[in-house]
Structure 1
Amino acid sequence: MNFTQFKNLFEKKEVTEYKNKAVHTPLVSICIQTYNQASYIKESLDAILSQKINFSIELLLGDDDSTDGTREICIAYAKKYPEKIRLFFHHRMNNISVSGKPTGIFNSLYNIFSSRGKFIAYCDGDDLWDDTYKLQKQVDYLRANPNTSFTYHEVKLIDKNGLLISNNSDLKLSERDFTSTQLKKAFIQPPISTWCFRNQIKDIPIEFTKIFNGDNFWMSLLGNYGDGKYLENIKPSFYRIHPASIWSTAEKSFQLKSKFETYSYLSKYYKRKKDKNLSEHFKSRANNYAKMIFKYYLKRKKMLEIIKFLKFYLQTLQL
């Protein structure tokens, strides 16, 4: 799916770009997606704009029709930094819902397709970079190591007030290098707000638009272009957990079903690409999550939910 196909499928109302003087050939495109994050977006943008770098950048700032003042903040920054910020005005009618919940898929993919840089860095509007040399270190490594697809680094969890939350042990599992093969299998996913990767994926699978949590899917795609490098010399970025976070506040059953869908559609994608090994790998992982979901509902004696998921399971895994 290229940009034109993407817009034909999902753009019901045209996205407009705020006037700017951004460079047409930046080395790095920084993708920032935001929706109703007025309490956090200034801090996020300030941290990005304070990066100490020796190359050109563009900030692709996509506001998903916020109603809390976020859009006005974005406009103020776009006016102040017209040579760096490309602000996109999105519309809720374009929003792609998954399992009845709104997502940032349209906003995110629109930024990715619009990126003109050789490399892409990623940061949600409620997350925060803390190392002013982060981008320089990541780009320097990618330039020197052509077999590396993307780089990432440590992350810490913070609450809505910016206070540290006890480290999640799962995050520590991603603090290592990954081979191309390991990336494609998407066993462990470094938080996307730490990523800087090569802008090589021009044909985005339609399956990507059908899942709520696309980070694992995207990491698997990046694995087709090289290895992953953990850079320990970068200060941690901050991933914010707050009441408006759709994923972190979602019910356990929803998170399990989202993982099931992600691996099911990865299986379908690789089957379509005629990669039998990866297709079977992700089908097996999807089945593991299906078992967890059935156990979850059985333990709570939710027989109606079991019947509903069984139908969903049979439909989804028709590979």
Structure 2
Amino acid sequence: MRDGSNSEIMASINCVTYNHSAFIRQALDSFLMQKTDFEYEILVHDDASTDGTGDIIREYAEKYPDKIRPLIQTENQYSQGIDNISGAFNFPRARGKYIFMCDGDDYFDSPDKLQKQVDYMESHPDCTLCIHSAKIQLMGKAVTERQMRPYRKTTVIKPEEIIDKASGYAMSSMAFPARLVKELPDYYTDCPVGDTPLQLMAAANGYGYYIDEPMSVYRVGVSGSWTAEGKKGNYAKKQQAYYERMKIVYEEFDKATGGRYKAAAMSASNRTYYQTKVNTRDFKEILNPLYQRYYKELTPLTRFFIQFQYRTPGIYHLLRRLVTGSND
């Protein structure tokens, strides 16, 4: 806090965590380091972690009782069929005017993040989604870093662009007015992921603003994450089920908005379908001329490996086994 005279809570940081004992301290420390001229709170939901994450959260809550508000489950809620933990447990208890998103295995990378995003939204009340670029840490034998940068300069984002975009937004970059989640539409509760419906809700109620500055870090490949768990078992079947649920989400969004964004919603649905085919290497659909637009959106390196695997599968799999030791 730069000035403790304003006791009204301006921002609520929404943190959902499960078995993040290796990361949660860094996340909480990054929340606590924020320099603001307003009050903010940290809402942490732990979904019955089994690795001691809950104990770490309790430790921090005892040390910072005026900042950290924990909710530590004794029974895992995700396994009970609750996909969107934030909407079920954190949004209803948020007291801030704005909500900031960050999972327990990610963290903020700038002490000015909250202040910069709140400043913009306060001076532009029609802005319903404020995001920024983020660093990406690829977890594995060696941690490598990239950048999630959906745009190449600070810019206003039209609603149609929020809905139908080639590059995703880091959840740890997202901030929006809390009024958006006072009543959650069906397409939020029916969605298998939490960030997409929030973006759709923002698009339906205003516009977006992107700050071209990496103010958070998004970890990819963390054991137990939604992405990592999704690759276990019958991956193709899981990808098909994911697309079918997302298709319903976009249809429900289109209905809820009276068809105002039908073209963008249908395109976003088709892109989701295409991405699942890329993930499962369904070459018939990947190279289908109907989806040429989405093929062109892939990075040059991804397109190279798709063509390499498609044209010379034997050599591709041999090289893959030599490099990674994997038969996939």
Q: What TM-score comes out, normalization by structure 1 length?
A: 0.74
Alignment identity in percent?
Answer: 26
**Aligned position for 1:190:** 169
CA–CA distance in structure 2, aligned partners of residues 26 and 33 of structure 1: 20
Query: How many angstroms does 1:24 deviate by?
Result: 8.4
**Aligned position for 2:108:** 129
Partners of 1:26 and 1:116 within 8 A in 2: yes
1:66-97 superposed Cα distances (whole Å, 9 cap, x missing partner): 11000000001110001111111224353366
**Aligned position for 2:249:** 265
CA–CA distance in structure 2, aligned partners of residues 173 and 50 of structure 1: 26
Q: Which moved more, 1:40-49 or 1:278-287?
A: 278-287
CA–CA distance in structure 2, aligned partners of residues 188 and 292 of structure 1: 12
Instruction: Pick one of 206, 211, 216 that aligns with 1:226.
Output: 206
Find out whether 1:118 has 2:74 as its counterpart.
no
Instruction: Pick one of 57, 60, 63 that aligns with 1:74.
Output: 57
Amino acid across the alignment from 2:70: L
Change (3 A) 1:92 1:279: farther
Partners of 1:267 and 1:278 within 8 A in 2: no
**Aligned position for 1:44:** 27
Partners of 2:131 and 2:211 within 8 A in 1: yes
Change (3 A) 1:208 1:183: same
Change (3 A) 1:281 1:225: closer
Partners of 2:165 and 2:268 within 8 A in 1: no
CA–CA distance in structure 2, aligned partners of residues 162 and 29 of structure 1: 35
1:128-178 superposed Cα distances (whole Å, 9 cap, x missing partner): 11111111111111111122112111111114489753536xx33345531
Instruction: Pick one of 177, 185, 190 that aligns with 1:205.
Output: 185
Q: Which moved more, 1:174-183 or 1:276-285?
A: 276-285
Query: How many angstroms does 1:269 deviate by?
Result: 3.5
Change (3 A) 1:299 1:195: closer
Change (3 A) 1:248 1:266: same
Query: How many angstroms does 1:198 deviate by?
Result: 1.1
Query: How many angstroms does 1:179 deviate by?
Result: 1.2
CA–CA distance in structure 2, aligned partners of residues 236 and 248 of structure 1: 24
Change (3 A) 1:182 1:281: closer
Instruction: Pick one of 6, 13, 38 that aligns with 1:55.
Output: 38
CA–CA distance in structure 2, aligned partners of residues 133 and 161 of structure 1: 30
**Aligned position for 1:139:** 118
- Alignment gaps of 5+ in structure 1: 1-22, 301-319
**Aligned position for 2:197:** 217
Query: How many angstroms does 1:289 deviate by?
Result: 4.5
Change (3 A) 1:78 1:257: same
CA–CA distance in structure 2, aligned partners of residues 154 and 162 of structure 1: 25
- Aligned residue for 2:25, secondary structure, equals helix
CA–CA distance in structure 2, aligned partners of residues 29 and 41 of structure 1: 17
Amino acid across the alignment from 1:40: F
**Aligned position for 1:5:** none
CA–CA distance in structure 1, aligned partners of residues 240 and 99 of structure 2: 29
1:19-57 superposed Cα distances (whole Å, 9 cap, x missing partner): xxxx98411111111111000000110011011111001
Partners of 1:96 and 1:106 within 8 A in 2: no
- Alignment gaps of 5+ in structure 2: 1-5, 285-328
Amino acid across the alignment from 1:172: R
Query: How many angstroms does 1:121 deviate by?
Result: 0.7
Instruction: Pick one of 227, 230, 234 that aligns with 1:247.
Output: 227
Figure out how many residues of one structure are paired with residues of the other and give that number: 270
CA–CA distance in structure 1, aligned partners of residues 120 and 268 of structure 2: 33
Amino acid across the alignment from 1:112: F
Partners of 2:163 and 2:265 within 8 A in 1: no
Change (3 A) 1:81 1:136: same
